[in-house]
Amino acid sequence: MQVPYVSNESLFNIAEKFLDEYHNSRILPVPIEEIAESKLGLMILPISKLESLCDISGTIGKDFNTILIDEETYKNQENRARFTIAHEVGHVILHKQLFEKENGKYSIEDFVRFQNGLSSNAYKRLEIQAFRFGESILFPKDKIDEIFTSTLERLGDINSLAITDLEKIISPISSKFGVSGRATYNKLKRDYPSVFESLMSNTPF
């Protein structure tokens, strides 16, 4: 089965429309769990040992109405759980129609057939699309630009900062957006490469 290509710009625009409809205030952190349950009508179902047994923190149910999430992650790793939920919401928004077009119904057999029919490249494309969408939901563009800039200004001249100051940059941003430090690092490094180049060039080792 072919998975259509969707550009990063298009994914960003879809995410912005999603926020316009479901969280227009852009107040942080984006209440993704509330949106998923109250506004999209999704059920979030913690599953014991999902990650240790299946090597995944979450997955979408066969009916695209249930998000299965690792129980340990859900209970004890709030920021990571939020990203997992946002990622699975991405599959609902981006890929539910793809499944319906391919199968037209929601039996477990059809869902398994749908997954097994994906090539490794098609599966990777699905995951990247959901990842980019989820990331754009949790990091609204205007907010990340504003807060990243203000964080750097508070710390002083960028030319005086080195990679050893990374925690001072990452930690307050991670806290404001309700995401993990790793997710924040990946977002900032990809979207603001010149800043990270400066941090590296100022590092004395």
pLDDT at 123: 86
Q: DSSP readout, 104-130?
A: SS--HHHHHHHHHT--HHHHHHHHHHH
Residue ranges per structural domain of the chain: 8-138, 141-201
Q: 118 vs 35, which has greater pLDDT? A: 35
186 alpha-carbon distance from chain centroid? 11
- According to DSSP, residue 30 is labeled P
pLDDT, tens only, 29-80: 999 999 999 999 999 999 999 999 989 899 988 788 999 999 999 999 999 9
User: Cα 182–188–194 angle (5° rounding)?
Assistant: 135
Q: Would you state the CATH architecture of domain 8-138?
A: Orthogonal Bundle (1.10)
pTM: 0.89
Tell me what pLDDT residue 101 has.
Answer: 60
